[in-house]
Amino acid sequence: MNLSRRSFFKLTGATFAAGALAEVFGPANALAADAVPELRIKGATESPTICCYCAVGCGGICSVIDGELVNLEGDPDHPINRGALCSKGSAQFNIRNVYNPETGALEPNPYRLTKVQYRAPGSSEWETKDWEWAIEEIAKRVKETRDANYEATDANGATVNRCEAIGNLGGAGLDGEECYAVQKFARALGVTFIEHQARI
Ligand code: SF4
């Protein structure tokens, strides 16, 4: 075949254009597009939230369809995390929902506790209680323990104003201001054993 330089470029250009068109409109591409699953957040209502796990306070977005949480991810507009979540924060979605390992269906997390669980001293059984009962009981026992063990002075007569029968352990779900209020409350009772578990 006798091909001039101009003819060569015409031929290769036409071949490239045909290939590109086939790539865009061809059957293979149509099949690939058909295979793309629908976004699970399509049509969802988005609500901002704050991670429940630690005092860093990363922002998230909850996507809800028909009252059901379908997705939870980092909020790219949040100034603290800018869309990123640590491994624990990324798993918040599974507090409420889990995927069934056999069917793949989204289901309510069967292990999620939504009611107060109480185990009496010496008992091996958990009882379900309501919040009113739990709050009353905690207040009553703290008051009794504090009143029974409060020391204004030690054995040498030095002022101590303390209660060593109660310990206070903070949790990572508390933010800085809540920790401040909790430790102030504990110190007001005379509690000296104050500790905190922060973050993961
Ligand atoms: S647990 Fe992780 S995602 Fe949640 S607030 Fe703390 S650092 Fe952020």
Q: pLDDT tens digit string along 40-69?
A: 899 999 999 999 888 888 999 999 999 999
Closest ligand 1 atom number to CA of residue 86:
2
93, two tokens: 């979605």
pTM over 0.85: no
Mean pLDDT over 131-155 rounds to: 97
Kindly report the protein residue whose alpha carbon is nearest to atom 3 of ligand 1.
89
Mutate to test the pocket of ligand 1, among 54, 72, 73 (most ligand atoms within 8 A of CB): 54
Q: Are strands 159-170 and 191-196 parallel, antiparallel or unpaired?
A: parallel
Alpha-carbon torsion angle 25, 30, 31, 32, nearest 10: 90
Å from CA of 178 to ligand 1 middle: 16
Model confidence band, residue 30 (pLDDT cutoffs 50, 70, 90): low
- Give the pLDDT of residue 13: 62
Closest ligand 1 atom number to CA of residue 84:
3
Cα 89 from Cα 51, distance rounded (Å): 6
- Give the pLDDT of residue 38: 86
Q: Ligand 1 site: residues with CB under 6 angstroms?
A: 51, 53-54, 56-58, 81, 85-86, 88-89
Å from CA of 50 to ligand 1 middle: 9
Domain 45-108, CATH class in plain words: mainly beta
DSSP 158: -
- Give the pLDDT of residue 191: 97
What residue ranges do the domains of the chain occupy? 5-35, 45-108, 150-196
Alpha-carbon torsion angle 81, 82, 88, 90, nearest 10: 170
Residue that wins the pLDDT comparison between 84 and 34: 84
